[in-house]
Structure 1
Amino acid sequence: MSVYKGMTGNSLADLFRSRQTIGRALCMPLLAVALATVCALAVTDLDKMQSVAAQRYGQDAANTVAEWRNTITQAKDLSDSEKIVLINDFFNTRIRFMEDPQAWGEKDYWATPLEVMAFRKGDCEDFSIAKYTTLLLAGVDMSKLRITYVKAKIGGAYSKVHAAHMVLAYYPTPNADPQILDNLVMRIQPASLRPDLTPVFGFNSNGLWVGGAATPATKDPGAKLSRWRDLLARASAEGLG
């Protein structure tokens, strides 16, 4: 029996709002990686990124990057609530969901936003990272964003089949019911209306939050951090930092 059976929408929202942080040994390396993301975005060269897209992947990829850049420019003049809708729709309507082995030939691969746009495919992590990066470029405060690992009930809220999944959570205020940007559900909804999702942990530059628990949600955080470092290095070489 699932330990999440019977959990209400409000209690799920409370889990998403949880401010508990894990131990210093895990949190500090994560902060270093996340802060590196901020620094990378501060020196982003989108002209280079578009040039790399054309040289490496062809004109169609460069055109998609140009469209993405125009979307970022448009988003900068919008409210946060409008930005998240615009960016969520950009990726959900253009990128095809595909698991890592089929998309990239690896069991667990974190694609750069350029790779996602060039090949127009990716899994839940790729969608979430691309949306996260784009919203930062559009001017959304990082403190309002958390890349969040969840357990998703496949087939609906009453399903007993769970799968690991990643979404992007947007918090209008620190204790708000977050808005969930999900590649599997087109419409953005508050966490209280997503009983099919149970948060495991989420992170941004301020730390790592564990859904309703005081102990680490992963036994191998180094593996996740190494993927972040690899992603940042590849994205930087492409112009995103």
Structure 2
Amino acid sequence: MQIFQLEKLEKSLDTTSKNRVIDYFETLDTLKALPLQERLVRANFYLNQLRSLPDIVTYKQNDYWGTPKEFLICGYGDCEDFAIIKYFTLLKLGFEKEKLFITTSNEKFTGQPHMVLSYFESKEKPPLILDNLSYKVLDLSKRVDLEPKIFINEEGSYKLDTHNNLTRIGDMPRKFKELLERIALES
């Protein structure tokens, strides 16, 4: 899945944004040759170098899910934007969409909502967590600071039980569906 066409953007971008987008695609090309686990760790590290700013500053809204294109062009976003770009980046890097979940959670120490990307490497293990607040990719059992709520992908919404099994609880949330529609319009 192509996130967006670089050729269509080149004329409209400022130099910094253009360089960031070009660097993103060049980095993806270098990551594709690496083993799956290495792609995961390096993609998380690479994308965590983008700046974090709240939606109210970036989009003048309290809760906006930016597309990967919007995030790369502006160069900053909040936890949702990081989880979203990581989801689509890993899809581009050959990860199975059935194993990737944008995950809503609570940060236990602050009580604040937080979004991360979960990767279920196997059904026997807790998911690996890609978080804009950590350069380390750790499995959920080691993330004592996170309390996951809902796991979201293109198939629907899920809850995780104590044995690391996902149970479908509903369809894809409206915000995710709207995000996919906006991404389709950008291509």
| TM-score, L = length of structure 1 | 0.69
Q: Structure 1 pair 111/45, CA: closer, same or farther in 2 (3 Å)? A: closer
Q: Does 1:80 align with 2:36?
A: yes
**Structure ID, larger Rg:** 1
Q: Structure 1 pair 75/50, CA: closer, same or farther in 2 (3 Å)? A: same
Aligned-partner Cα distance in 1 for 2:112–2:94: 32
Structure 2 equivalent of residue 56 of structure 1: 12
Q: Does 1:135 align with 2:84?
A: no
Structure 2 equivalent of residue 3 of structure 1: none
Q: Deviations over 1:107-164 (max 9, x none)?
A: 11111111111111111110000000011011111122111111112xxxxx3x3111
Q: Deviations over 1:173-204 (max 9, x none)?
A: 12312211000112111111111101101022
Greater relative CO (CA pairs within 8 A, separation 6+):
1
Structure 2 equivalent of residue 184 of structure 1: 133
Q: Deviations over 1:10-64 (max 9, x none)?
A: xxxxxxxxxxxxxxxxxxxxxxxxxxxxxxx2xx375xx2134333332322221
Structure 1's unaligned 5+ residue stretches are 1-40, 154-158
Structure 1 equivalent of residue 120 of structure 2: 171
1:188 aligned counterpart, secondary structure: strand
2:147 aligned counterpart, secondary structure: strand
Structure 1 equivalent of residue 154 of structure 2: 205
Residues matched between the structures, number? 183
Structure 2 equivalent of residue 35 of structure 1: none
Structure 2 equivalent of residue 232 of structure 1: 180
Q: Does 1:114 align with 2:69?
A: yes
Q: Structure 1 pair 64/192, CA: closer, same or farther in 2 (3 Å)? A: same
2:135 aligned counterpart, secondary structure: coil
Q: Structure 1 pair 164/216, CA: closer, same or farther in 2 (3 Å)? A: farther
C-alpha RMSD of the superposition: 2.3
Asked whether the equivalents of residues 145 and 168 of structure 1 are also in contact (C-alpha less than 8 Å), the reply is yes
